[in-house]
Amino acid sequence: MPDKRTTIDEVVGELRDGMTIGIGGWGSRRKPMALIRALCRSSVKDLTVVSYGGPDVGLLCATGKVRKVVFAFVSLDSIALEPHFRTAMQTGAVETLQLDEGMFLLGLQAAAWRVPFLPTRVGLGSDVVERQRDEIRTVVSPYDDPETGEAEELVAMPALRLDVALVHQNRADAGGNAQFLGPDLYFDDLMCQAAKRSFVTCERIVDTDDLLKEGSHHTLRISRLWTDGVVETPNGAHFTSCVPDYERDEAFQKEYAASAKSPEAWQEWRTAWLDLDEDGYQRKLASR
Amino acid sequence: MTTTTDASGSASATAGVRRADVCCVAIAECFRGDGEIVANPIGTIPRIGGLLARASFEPDLVMTDGEAMFSNADGVVEAWNPYRSMFDVVWSGRRHVIMGGSQIDAMGNQNFAAIGDMKHPKVQLLGFRGAPGNTANNVTSYWVPAHGPRVLVPQVDVVTGIGYDRAAAAGAAATRYHSVRFVVTNLAVLDFETPDHRMQLRSVHPGVTVDDVVAATGFELVVPADVPESRTPTEAELALLEQIDPAGERFAEVPDA
């Protein structure tokens, strides 16, 4: 088994301008925030970000890293709408591909299975299709439906092919086998499978022998087959939740959300919480 | 004081009835007859109303704990249902969702993505979330806590959940499992049981007149000759509502008129 341990900076060093990046988690839950913070500090730009969006999308928009967002929502969960994302949308700062949550899953699955699209009813008649025909098209089934005798016209959800996937898990081993211990994997496995290269951050790197000590075999959903690098980043999903290791830091998230109120407030927050490396961030947090 | 009779035959007083309780009962009624499917009412009063339905006349309903589990009335986990499994449920049709909407039109189209152009919005809202998939695959109803002409509009800015006209235009694959059933508001219950599926007034809540509802609606409603009053809670239902919502969150969402 190869040793895939690496560092946040080395992972960010793999990213290039214009890449399409998939980010795991859901809303303000188990986001690879240590990597996102480092990406915000980097010179990388013009990214297409594919995410069940939370503060990852907000931070990347606020720091000018994003050309296009592929999303079904961008939410902080306890705060319904990501305020930095809202600003980016209302000032015309980013292009979008807007999807239904389920189309997102199908797009990742299509990329993972190396097929150009997957058919679905989802999106029919809605502005996901009607206003985005340049990117979302329909397909007529080659089969007559056994009940109706007719060939249905369905949405052909295109593959969401990713250059890189970034996900955060509770545990991993040095080879990149990764484990989620919370109630929901979200779509982190599909993100990895849809990407050319995938990087996993985790709360703790453990011996492979120890993976089953904290969770059943059902929790081992990301095999090293799908991962190219693994980084131990304790508290690395902060301020999003990473249960059972920790809950969302709601007080911190409120401060983050309030920083969208004015350019001055944002500059202040950015100086305090982005313009320092991950060790500095965690030390500062611990001393609050 | 007047009395009305609910479907189970028990009498209830309308004097002193609280609007939020009527709304909860109206939400519960949305699920009547649904049987063993996922009742997925989103929002404060919808969730309370859904729990009321399960605790009374629809005991077989399956409900989420709001996260990744199906749990019963005692909070005991019945099954694991992470987000990915929820799509299996939606696309199988074994679900009745109650969503909100920033805008809803006469044909049942819903918008909670954006005000203005979705690519260059005046106000960015939630995004499409699961609305296109929900409306194309499972039964959908809507909850509107503040019935007014800016919510019930002639035309939605963005079609997130599809109404009857947009489903028909998209073809047989879109209409096959499409069913927008009810719109419950703080003033009334509305449905689409008209020949052309235009929204019609089904009942008005106690203390609300037909004219009130017409004035608060931004398009021409179908108004039958006789519009009944919405059902009021029974004593048993009031007791259940107190159990389900002891903090009275429902009264914060819909204050008494």
> For the segment B193-225, what is each residue's pLDDT rounded down to a tens digit?
999 999 999 999 999 999 999 999 999 999 999
Identify which of B124, B126, B132 has the shortest CB distance to residue A128: B132
- How near does any CA of chain A get to the CA of B113, in Å? 9
Output the pLDDT for position B15.
Answer: 64
Q: What is the mean pLDDT of chain A?
A: 98
Q: Do A153 and B173 touch (CB under 8 A)?
A: yes
The alpha-carbon gap from B170 to the nearest alpha carbon of chain A, in Å, equals 5
Q: Is the pLDDT of residue B3 over 80?
A: no
In contact, A61 and A93? CB cutoff 8 Å? yes
Instruction: Report the alpha-carbon distance of residue A163 to residue A189 in Å, rounded.
Output: 15
How far out from the chain centre does Cα A172 lie? 18
Asked if residue A99 lies in contact with residue A110, where contact means CB atoms within 8 angstroms, the answer is no
The pLDDT value given to residue A227:
98
Rounded to an integer, the average pLDDT of B13-17 is: 69
Nearest CA in chain A to B172: A152
pLDDT at B12 over 60: no
Tokens of B71: 């749990």
As a residue count, chain B comes to 257
Contact: A90, B119; criterion CB under 8 Å:
no
- Nearest neighbour of A122 by CB, restricted to B69, B121, B136: B136
Q: State the first-to-last Cα distance of chain B, in angstroms, to the nearest integer.
A: 18
Residue contact A26–B121, C-beta within 8 A = no
Find out whether A169 and A214 touch, Cβ atoms under 8 Å: no
Query: Under an 8 A CB cutoff, do A131 and B119 touch?
Result: yes
Cβ–Cβ contact A184 with B under 8 A: yes
pLDDT confidence band for B5 (50 / 70 / 90): very low
The CA dihedral of B209, B142, A254, A40, to the nearest 10 degrees, is: -140
Residue with the two structure tokens 């003033």 = B187
Beta bridge partners of B68: none
pLDDT 10s digits, B27-56: 999 999 999 999 999 999 999 999 999 999
Q: CA gyration radius for chain B?
A: 18
Residue A91 near chain B (CB below 8 Å): no
Q: For residue B123, what pLDDT is reported?
A: 98
> How does pLDDT run along chain A (288 residues), one tens digit per residue?
999 999 999 999 999 999 999 999 999 999 999 999 999 999 999 999 999 999 999 999 999 999 999 999 999 999 999 999 999 999 999 999 999 999 999 999 999 999 999 999 999 999 999 999 999 999 999 999 999 999 999 999 999 999 999 999 999 999 999 999 999 999 999 999 999 999 999 999 999 999 999 999 999 999 999 999 999 999 999 999 999 999 999 999 999 999 999 999 999 999 999 999 999 999 999 999
For range B229-245, the mean pLDDT: 98
A133 to chain B nearest CA, in Å? 13
Measured in degrees and rounded to the nearest 5, phi and psi for residue A271 equal -60, -40
Rounded CA separation B13/B170 (Å): 47
The residue of chain B with its CA nearest to that of A188 is: B84
Residue A58: name the closest of A197, A191, A240, A195 by CA.
A240
A101·B133 Cβ contact <8 A? yes
Encode pLDDT of B104-123 as tens digits.
999 999 999 999 999 999 99
Q: Nearest Cα to A15, choosing from A281, A192, A197?
A: A197
| Contacting residues of B for A185, CB less than 8 Å apart | 82, 84
**Cβ–Cβ < 8 Å for B137, B174:** no
What region, left, alpha or beta, does residue A203 occupy, with left being phi > 0 and alpha being psi -120 to 50 degrees? alpha
Are B188 and B143 in contact by the 8 Å Cβ rule? The answer is: no
pLDDT at residue A170, rounded to an integer: 98
Contacts of B113 in chain A (CB under 8 A): 98, 127
Using 50, 70 and 90 to split pLDDT, how confident is the model at B66? confident
Task: Average the pLDDT over each of A127-141, B63-77, B174-188 and give the range with the smallest value.
Answer: B63-77
Angle at A202 between CA A200 and CA A207, to 5 degrees: 100
Kindly list the residues from chain A whose CB atom is less than 8 angstroms away from the CB atom of residue B172. 148, 150, 152-153
The confidence score (pLDDT) of residue B14 equals 55
**How many whole angstroms separate alpha carbon B94 and alpha carbon B34?**
9
Which of B82, B132, B176 shows the shortest C-beta gap to A100?
B132
User: How far apart, in whole angstroms, are the C-alpha atoms of residue B42 and residue B95?
Assistant: 13
Instruction: Give the C-alpha separation, A201 to A188, whole Å.
Output: 12
Which residue in A101, A138, A218 has the most chain B C-beta atoms within 10 A of its own C-beta, making it the best mutation to test that interface? Answer: A101
The answer to whether residue A278 neighbours chain B at the CB level (below 8 Å) is no
Q: What angle do CA B114, B119, B121 make, to 5 degrees?
A: 40
Distances (CA, A) of A58 to A25, A54, A199, A218: 14, 7, 21, 32
**Which chain B residue is nearest to residue A97, measuring alpha carbons?**
B119
A282 — contact with chain B (CB < 8 Å)? Answer: no
Taking CB atoms and an 8 Å limit, are A121 and B174 in contact across chains? Answer: yes
Confidence class of residue B16 from pLDDT cuts 50, 70 and 90? Answer: confident
CA distances A261 to A83, A87, A264, Å, are: 8, 9, 8
